[in-house]
Amino acid sequence: MVNLILFLIILVLLALSIFAVFYLLYLFRTGIPFVPTSKPVAQKMVELAELDAEKKFVDLGCGEGTLVRMAGKSGAHGVGYELILPLVWLCRGANRLQKRPIEFRTEDFFQAELKEFDVIFCYLWPNAMKKFWTTFEGKLKPGARIISHQFPIENLTPEKTEIVGKSKIFVYRVPATSP
């Protein structure tokens, strides 16, 4: 019995270590840790998105998918990109119970085509925000909303800024032509 318990503890520790090693590798690759947006902030972001069933939205680095599931309640079609595989499993598992028109892709969003989306959610660190705008400027749907938790896009003036507790939300409109 003691041997079995010891074996199980070692197994759990091994699984956690493997997860930690993978997580550190992802972190090294993306430079962005997984920090979920709190529910009140996510709710405000969804409200600001003004989604309906005709619209499409994306969360760039969707973590465990709370924001995507909340936004999916509107009936809008949503996509979450996430590189950390166990988080994508969690996202897909939770959606199997709720059945919203959302999907999760284990892909690097920097390689994605984002022109179809009316709303782009993000919670990315400053360097990634810079890279996001240099990568996608001129390649997004004109008039699409970009809703960023905490970090602004340099060189672009927000249409709106909201404060929820200690968090800031920036709302941008993709210009019709590149500024």
* CB nearer to ligand SAM: pick between 26 and 55: 26
Question: Does the protein bind ligand SAM through residue 62 (CB under 6 A)?
Answer: yes
Question: Does the protein bind ligand SAM through residue 104 (CB under 6 A)?
Answer: no
CB of 44 to ligand SAM, least distance (A): 12
Q: What is the distance of C-alpha 33 from the center of its chain? A: 12
Six-digit token string for 139: 């390649």
Which residues are 170's β-sheet partners? 148, 161
Q: Which residues of 35-47 are buried (b: 16+ CB within 10 A; e: fewer)?
A: eebeeebbbbbbe
Which of 81, 117, 132, 136: binder of ligand SAM (CB under 6 A)?
81
Q: Alpha-carbon distance 179 to 175, whole Å?
A: 7
* CB nearer to ligand SAM: pick between 9 and 35: 35
> What letter does residue 65 receive in the DSSP assignment?
S
How many residues sit in the footprint of ligand SAM (CB under 6 A)? Answer: 22
Q: Tell me the three state secondary structure of residue 174.
A: coil
Q: Which stretch binds ligand SAM (CB under 6 A): 35-43, 90-98, 137-145, 171-179?
A: 35-43
Question: Does the protein bind ligand SAM through residue 35 (CB under 6 A)?
Answer: yes
Question: Does the protein bind ligand SAM through residue 133 (CB under 6 A)?
Answer: no
Q: Alpha-carbon distance 7 to 92, whole Å?
A: 30
The β-bridge relationship of strands 102-105 and 77-81 is parallel
Question: Does the protein bind ligand SAM through residue 123 (CB under 6 A)?
Answer: yes
Q: Which residue is nearest to ligand SAM (CB)?
A: 61
Q: Alpha-carbon distance 28 to 163, whole Å?
A: 30
Residues that bind ligand SAM (CB under 6 A): 26, 30, 32, 34-37, 59, 61-63, 66-67, 81-84, 108-110, 123, 149
